[in-house]
Amino acid sequence: MRAPQFKKPLICTALLLCFGAPASVLASPFGYADLSNAPAPYSQASSSTGDYQRLGDQYGVDDGVSWSIDGGNTFGHGDVTIGQTITFKYELVSHNIGGHVFDPIRSWFDMDGNGSWSSNEMIFSDKYTKATESDYWLKGTPDDPIPNGSNAYNTRHWVNGAANDWIKTTFFSEFYLSENTQIGDLFLRTRVTCDASLGGIDYQDPSKNWTWQAVAGDINKMGPDGWLHQGEIEDFKIRVLARPPVVTVPEPSGAVLLIVGLLTLLLFRFRAVGVKN
């Protein structure tokens, strides 16, 4: 979600830099609020603000992604084993109402362990669509476009310049660990952003009482690396274990069966003699 104070030259600079998904982190005019932490040779990802959406309850803390190997009964960050189905849980916390259309979330899992995420290793993609009030407006006036509590909308959704309408959305996905998955420590990357960081724009429409209008960005511009102005990145190491060997009990041989049969006959014979005596 975007705040109106980023409407002018800053938003133009930000959007020019965030088109596409570059392989390395681009210079940010705003500084970095969040950087990825997967080790080399994984490429970096970064964002400049977490004021409008994040993963989990705390920004900058990896608390928004977890997984389960028991069908969703318990979630954590434990080891997984070839042949298991993993249930991933993603928690996106976002502003419910804003000047842009949606907040996307995507996740990539390095299945082949080569230190990068290819397009076919994206295991999850979805988005949270914001609530609308008159075509996603942020109502203000030509002289007062910045939220400051001066009208009804600002009073409801802004307190001392910060939005107060956070909402959490939980997403789930399943992933089967096939025999083609690399054994060892693999990395999962999940990130969220705003469609404004993917080419979406705001503009003032004088014909609608100077409301802010939104044009949605393109989620396909969201890759696993590079700089996006808004959002958060969380990287997790997942240890993949080999499938346990199948233990088979050998069938008894013919000789063993013969001996067992003879012993059984002798036992019955002894019992019969005992009864006669």
Half-sphere exposure (CA, 13 Å, Cβ side) for 192? 32
Structure tokens at 160: 């001392």
Residue 6 pLDDT > 50, yes or no?
no
In this predicted model, what pLDDT tens digit does every residue of 163-179 receive, in sequence order? 556 789 999 999 999 99
What are the angstrom distances between the C-alpha of 89 and each of 50, 85, 105, 127, 136? Answer: 20, 13, 12, 14, 28
Q: pLDDT confidence of 237, banded at 50, 70, 90?
A: very high
Closest CA to 69 of 47, 55, 54, 85: 85
Is 102 exposed, middle or buried (CB count within 10 Å of its CB: 0-12, 13-18, 19+)? buried
Answer whether 192's CB lies under 8 Å from 229's CB.
Answer: no
* End-to-end C-alpha distance for the chain, whole angstroms: 97
Q: pLDDT confidence of 21, banded at 50, 70, 90?
A: very low
Q: pLDDT confidence of 231, banded at 50, 70, 90?
A: very high
- What is the extent of the structural domain holding 133? 4-276
In this predicted model, what pLDDT tens digit does every residue of 112-138 receive, in sequence order? 999 999 999 999 999 998 765 443 344
Higher pLDDT, 76 or 207: 76
Q: pTM for this one?
A: 0.71
Higher pLDDT, 276 or 110: 110
Q: Read out DSSP for the chain?
A: ---GGGSSHHHHHHHHHHSS--SSPPP-TT--SEE--PPTTSPPEEEEE-SSEEESSSTTSS-SEEEESSTTSS-BS--EETTPEEEEEEEEEEESB-SSSEEEEEEEE-TT-SSS--GGGEEEEEEEEPB-STTT----BTTB-S-SS-SHHHHHHEETTEE--EEEEEEEEEEE--TTSPSEEEEEEEEE--GGGGT-EEEEEGGGTTEEEEE---GGG--SSEEEEE-EEEEEEEEEEPPPPPP-PPPPPHHHHHHHHHHHHHHHHHHHHHHH-
Q: Which of 15-19, 50-54, 94-98, 120-124 has the lowest mean pLDDT?
A: 15-19
CATH number at 156 reads 2.60.40.10
Compute the residue count for the chain: 277
Distance CA(65)–CA(94), nearest Å, equals 15
Answer whether 167's CB lies under 8 Å from 93's CB.
Answer: yes
What does pLDDT average to over the chain?
Answer: 76
Q: Residue 183 corresponds to which amino acid?
A: I
- Of the chain, the percentage scoring pLDDT greater than 70 comes to 61
Residue 7 pLDDT > 50, yes or no?
no
The count of structural domains within the chain is 1
Torsion sign (Cα): 107, 112, 114, 119: negative
